[in-house]
Amino acid sequence: MDLGIDLGTTHTVAAMVDRGNFPVVSFCDEDGDSHDHLPSVSAVVDGDLVHGFEAVTAMAQGLPGIRSVKRFLSDPAVTFSTPVTLGAGTDRALTIGIGELLASYLGHLHAQIRQITGADELRAVIGVPAHAHTGQRFVTIEAFRTAGFEVLGMLNEPSAAGLEYALRQSRTLNSRRTRIIIYDLGGGTFDASLVDMSGTVGEVIDSVGLNDLGGEDFDEVLATMARPRLTMAVPSPDALREACRIAKEGVRPQSRNVLIDLPEETVRIPVAEYEEACQPLVDRSVEAMGPLSSLLQSDPARSDVAGIDMVGGATSLPLVPRRIRDLFGRRVHRAPNPTGSTAIGLAIAADPTSPYSIRDRLSRGFGVFRETNWGQQVAFDVLADQHLRLDSPTTITRRYQSRHNIGVYRFVEFSRTDPDGTPRGDLTPFAQIVVPFDEALQRSGRTLNPDDVHPVEDGHWAEETYTIDPSGMVSAEITDLDTGWSASTTMGLDRPVVRQ
């Protein structure tokens, strides 16, 4: 069975490919009630990991657990074995590698879908935030594969939502207005993409985003407002945040109060007061999408942008679509199923018979800092930027004669560069490879330090090879062509692989 799976910060949604239709999978909780999602929650019960609805119940009973693992993935230093702790600060805490935890959760998802559908094999196109760094992409793909899914591809979440929009709102697209802006505010991240959907083959023009803004931040604002109002027993921070999340999702345009139901009392907070406290969060998203939305603001009448499509669970808070409509007018559309739009778009991408497809771009460029002028200066080389299409694997090769006995390559991802190629804004260091261009050092196998570096007159010939796959993952290999010694890494691995 082919699927589209949106691994969300708070909820995971799966959509099936079913003869040109893309229904969302329904999961049952412990009471037998049906939901269009599986909670992205894990807990420890009697020393074993449990997930989804069972984990939600366990955490409500005070057992150690963890929510929002996806936020941990946004750490630039994340690898498959990066430790996370369930129930931190308790005597029943469990520490486990984030990749192993995620694979266990996805294994539960795999078993649930097989039980619901009766399918033996599950193939999926999976989503990832547009500005996810390479380590996050690597850990996510490996966890899905470990869990038993055959990964057909990885697509940036707003790009997938663009496919769903093209299928659902084709009447808004015409020969004059072919572009749409996807505003994707999920539980833990914000992304916005400009997508050209002229015809059935779309193309991502540009993407922006914030890895530290999402519905959880709105929950925390509400929890902060609730704490001084508590008159009875103070719940645990996790229990309070969960109650605030439920209360936030219950706010409607006509609501006058946010009602936070706790075991001992119900806290009432005026909606107007809550929205005023949350507006800076919405304004952060507006500021981030500035490079895209300027196309609408400059001259809306002549713009080729058909509209802004709002997806993601956090757009359910009435303040969010109202604020966006105040700024951009009637060409703002909120998806009828904002939490399922991305999964449906991923399922469309997984459907081999669908006429709709999308050409994605590298959402974050990458490059390398290197020494120049005999070690007296540091230069930065852009190896690939956001103009790179991800239609097929891309290989970049550079060959030169080394000027030092040791090469130190410090790789970073970036969101933007100045006209002169200098990286600016959001920089993410994601790997360092140290390569000795000296046969004696290569044979010694000892750890190198800066004192070992010195210039040479007739250095070895070196070759850099970089491979970017269609999911946006980057691998690098540095080879000493004189000796055949090499070091390679896929961004997200714990350490480089040395081959002699």
Q: What is the DSSP letter of 496?
A: P
Amino acid occupying residue 23: P
Q: For residue 187, give both structure tokens.
A: 């539980």
Q: In this structure, how many other beta carbons lie within 10 angstroms of the beta carbon of residue 153? A: 17
Per-residue pLDDT at 425 = 61
Per-residue pLDDT at 495 = 55
* Residue of 444, 457, 432, 431 whose CA lies nearest to 485: 444
The tens digit of pLDDT for each residue in 199-222 reads: 788 888 888 888 889 999 999 999
Per-residue buried b or exposed e for 401-417, using 16+ beta carbons within 10 Å of the residue's own CB: ebbbbbbbbbbbbbbbb
Q: Name the packing angle between helices 98-117 and 52-60 (round to 10°).
A: 120
Per-residue pLDDT at 330 = 67
What is the block-wise mean pLDDT of the chain (500 residues), using blocks of 10 residues?
95 95 95 94 93 93 88 82 85 89 97 96 93 84 95 92 85 79 91 86 86 92 94 82 91 94 93 96 92 65 77 92 85 85 95 89 82 66 85 91 87 76 69 86 80 85 92 89 90 57
Residue written as token pair 């559908």: 117
In this structure, the dihedral spanned by the alpha carbons of residues 104, 105, 110 and 113, taken in order and rounded to 10 degrees, is 150
Q: In this structure, how many other beta carbons lie within 10 angstroms of the beta carbon of residue 204? A: 25
| Cα separation, 197 vs 337, whole angstroms | 20
Q: Is 107 helix (H, G, I), strand (E, B) or coil?
A: helix
Chain centre to alpha carbon of residue 305: 25
Instruction: Please say whether the structural domain 365-499 has been given the CATH code 2.30.29.
Output: no
Per-residue pLDDT at 500 = 47
Taking CA atoms, 431 is separated from 410, 425, 491, in Å, by: 6, 19, 6
N-to-C CA span, the chain:
43
* The CATH number fitting domain 2-213+281-359, selected from 3.30.365.10, 3.40.309.10, 3.30.420.40, 3.40.50.2030: 3.30.420.40
| Cα separation, 461 vs 459, whole angstroms | 7
Amino acid occupying residue 362: L
Listed by start position, the domains of the chain span 2-213+281-359, 365-499
Per-residue pLDDT at 496 = 53
Q: Which residues contact 299 (CB under 8 A, 6 or more apart)?
A: none
For the chain, the C-alpha Rg in angstroms (whole number) is 24
| Cα separation, 6 vs 155, whole angstroms | 10
Give me the sign of the Cα torsion angle 15, 16, 17, 22: negative
